[in-house]
């Protein structure tokens, strides 16, 4: 299973939000580039980056910094946050990003998603944010009438190969992932599932690995030191 250390960028700095609330943020590093170098030094094989300004505005506000991380780290990087056009996707690929994550766009602009998959194949990831099994959109403010399972089935039909699944009730709360929902999603599809939200302990990650998930994104637990990346990778190597 792949571990994706998360780097969330707001106003050029590495922060974490609580429950996606821009008014509840904690600064972890003045330099996202330094954060990337730290995770790489500790053994990270890939990075998950979110442009929080972009998620709000729909413009790639932190693209320059993301490009610097892509060029300096030589790690495969996946990026999300307000990406709403083929042009934006192509811009990210041109600066060295390996995969692009589409969120709300995947719900509200299905034709664009289809075009992106036709053009870029498995380099397109869809992020599904859910509460009580229902898909949430607009930065988690709105709850749709679409079940996560139904959405995943539709995504599979058009050729999506990887999703990020976030239980937004757990994100940033350090309460552990929603294992039941993740198991349901993982069993319902052949799509690769990356778990996000609530990962708190090394035990959480080992359990996800035992569930045969493709990957997991870890943010707050890494930054707060609850999980040491070097130790986690050693444990996972022994468990596999």
Please list the active-site residues.
8, 129
- Cα distance between residue 11 and residue 25, in whole Å: 12
Of the candidates 114, 109, 113, 107, the one whose C-alpha atom is nearest the C-alpha of residue 137 is 107
- Cα distance between residue 60 and residue 191, in whole Å: 27
- Cα distance between residue 214 and residue 159, in whole Å: 17
Note whether 88 and 81 are within 8 A (CB).
Answer: no
Note whether 18 and 223 are within 8 A (CB).
Answer: no
Q: What is the DSSP letter of 123?
A: G
SS percent in the chain: helix, strand, coil, step 5: 40, 30, 30
- Cα distance between residue 196 and residue 73, in whole Å: 23
């Amino acid at each position: 299973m792949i571990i994706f250390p998360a780097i969330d960028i707001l106003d050029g700095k590495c922060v974490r939000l609580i429950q996606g609330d821009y008014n509840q943020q904690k600064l972890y590093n003045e330099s996202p580039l330094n954060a990337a170098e730290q995770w790489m030094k500790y053994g990270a094989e890939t990075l998950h980056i979110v442009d929080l300004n972009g998620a709000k505005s729909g413009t790639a506000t932190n693209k320059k910094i993301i490009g610097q991380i892509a060029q300096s780290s030589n790690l495969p990087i996946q990026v999300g946050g307000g990406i709403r056009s083929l042009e934006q996707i192509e811009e990210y690929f041109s600066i060295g990003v390996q995969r692009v994550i589409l969120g709300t766009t995947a719900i509200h602009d299905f034709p664009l998603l289809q075009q992106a998959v036709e053009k870029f194949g498995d380099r397109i990831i869809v992020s599904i944010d859910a509460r009580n099994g229902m898909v949430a959109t607009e930065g988690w403010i709105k709850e749709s009438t679409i079940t996560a399972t139904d959405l995943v089935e539709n995504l599979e039909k058009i050729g999506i190969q990887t999703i990020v699944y976030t239980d937004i009730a757990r994100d940033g709360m350090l309460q552990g992932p929603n294992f039941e929902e993740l198991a349901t999603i993982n069993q319902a599809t052949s799509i690769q599932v990356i778990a996000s939200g609530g990962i708190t302990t090394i035990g959480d990650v080992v359990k996800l690995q035992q569930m045969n998930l493709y990957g997991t994104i870890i943010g707050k637990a890494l930054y707060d030191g609850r999980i040491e990346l070097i130790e986690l990778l050693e444990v996972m190597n022994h468990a596999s």
